[in-house]
Amino acid sequence: MAKLIGNKSNIAVFISGRGSNLKYLIKNSKCKNSLFRIKLVISNNSEANGLKYAEKSKIKFYVIKYNNNNTSDAQLLRLLKKFKIDLICLAGFMKIISKNFIDKFHKPIFNIHPSLLPKYKGLNTHLRALKNNEKFSGSTVHLVTSRLDSGKIILQKKVKIYKLDNVKSLEKKILKIEHKIYSDAVNKFLSNP
């Protein structure tokens, strides 16, 4: 897959809810050495808390009821073209992107997943890691393919699980590292042709 070098790359962030990763992608994109800017935010949920971060930073956002079909794909692809988007970051986007969309976009799509992939693909990662008495969990930034949570890993970071940890405390610890590694992963990818 061709990588992007030269000027800052235009990123679209797809969200569905809280949007804390979006918040930090926006914040980190303003750092001096950032290789990307957040150009567009897409949400499939009009009530998504994350939309307020886009609004606050005057970033264009659209609510699209993404249905994983050709009509939604075409609508999204048109928008991404209009905003000259070079790379998509899925950040808590609770819809599965269609193979048709991935094939037609032709550019990288990233996702952040709250586990040490390939372990614990899918939902309820923290609960499953705790039930299995894992010593570590973490977060992974990976390329999106048509197979769920399975594309090439760009960056991964571990956190230790302690006896007293529960789903809430583990989620909090992992979210904290996600807020840094998502931007680090994008910059790493963009700086390494």
> Could you list the active site residues?
113
- Assess contact for 17 and 45: CB atoms under 8 A: yes
Q: Which is nearer to ligand GRF, 19 or 151 (CB)?
A: 19
What is the number of residues in the chain? Answer: 193
Q: Which is nearer to ligand GRF, 91 or 186 (CB)?
A: 91
Contact between 92 and ligand GRF (CB under 6 A)? yes
Q: Which is nearer to ligand GRF, 21 or 29 (CB)?
A: 21
Token pair of 37 as six digits = 């800017």
CA–CA distances in Å: residue 151 to residues 50, 51, 121, 173, 193: 25, 27, 11, 24, 18
Minimal CB distance residue for ligand GRF: 92
Using CB under 6 A, which of the segments 29-37, 108-116, 147-155, 184-192 binds ligand GRF? Answer: 108-116
Contact between 17 and ligand GRF (CB under 6 A)? yes
Q: Which residues pair with 90 in a beta bridge?
A: 14, 111
Contact between 151 and ligand GRF (CB under 6 A)? no
Contact between 112 and ligand GRF (CB under 6 A)? yes
Contact between 126 and ligand GRF (CB under 6 A)? no
Contact between 114 and ligand GRF (CB under 6 A)? yes
Asked if the peptide bond before residue 114 counts as cis, ω within 30 degrees of 0, the response is no
What lies within 8 Å, CB to CB, of 42 at 6+ separation is 12, 13, 14, 15, 61, 62, 63, 64, 66, 76, 79, 93
- Assess contact for 189 and 3: CB atoms under 8 A: yes
Site string for ligand GRF, 52-91 (x = CB under 6 A): ---------------------------------------x
Summarize as ranges the residues that interact with ligand GRF (CB under 6 A): 15, 17-21, 91-92, 112-114, 139, 175, 178
